[in-house]
Amino acid sequence: MNDGFVYKLVYGDKAKDIFALGLFELYVLWTDDSETLIDNWMLLNEVLERGLDIGIEVGHMKMYNVYYIDQLYGGKDEYETTTSNFNKWLQETNAEREANGEIPYTESEFRIEEILIN
């Protein structure tokens, strides 16, 4: 979903069990990024027959813009990336830098800004 909302996908018999027991609300996840509550067996069976995605609501994923702080020349902060996991991004970026013979970055070289996804 492009609104930052996260769903855990469930399949086949697992979806039927969850629905039968009323453990969680199930949603059809349409290809246009919309969703529909599955509120009856007929809809659940139709969705399963059509092979559409079914999900359980998990929550919103936090996203962050990452800016490199130009400490050497005092210039404007430079946009680097948008990520849901700054530490993972930094680790991967530093592995790439080290493989290229460059000095790894430190966390203090960046400004991290949480963003809202609509």
Question: Which residue, of 60, 88, 103, is where some domain finishes?
Answer: 60
| pLDDT (0 to 100) of residue 113 | 94
- Assign 3-class secondary structure to the chain: CCCCEEEEEECHHHHHHHHHHCCCCEEEECCCCCEEECCCHHHHHHHHHHCCEEEEEEEECCEEEEEECCCCCCCCCEEEEEECCHHHHHHHHHHHHHHCCCCCCCHHHEEEEEECCC
pLDDT value of residue 51 = 95
41 in the same domain as 12:
yes
Question: 13, 41, 60 — which closes off a domain?
Answer: 60
Whether 27 and 43 share a structural domain: yes
Same domain, 20 and 53: yes
Could you tell me if 56 and 25 lie in one domain?
yes
Instruction: Give the chain's domain count.
Output: 2
Query: Do residues 86 and 112 make contact, with C-beta atoms less than 8 angstroms apart?
Result: yes
Same domain, 39 and 70: no
Q: Mind listing the pLDDT tens digit for each residue in 90-100?
A: 999 999 999 99
Region 100-118 average pLDDT: 89
Residues 20 and 46 reside in one and the same domain: yes
Q: What is the pTM of this model?
A: 0.53
pLDDT, tens digit, 9 for 90 and up, residues 7-55: 899 999 999 999 998 888 999 999 888 999 999 999 999 999 999 999 9
- Looking at the structure, do residues 39 and 54 belong to the same domain, yes or no? yes
Give every CB contact of residue 2 below 8 A, 6+ residues apart in sequence: 33, 117
Clarify whether residues 72 and 31 are in a common domain: no
Containing domain of residue 95, as a range? 63-115
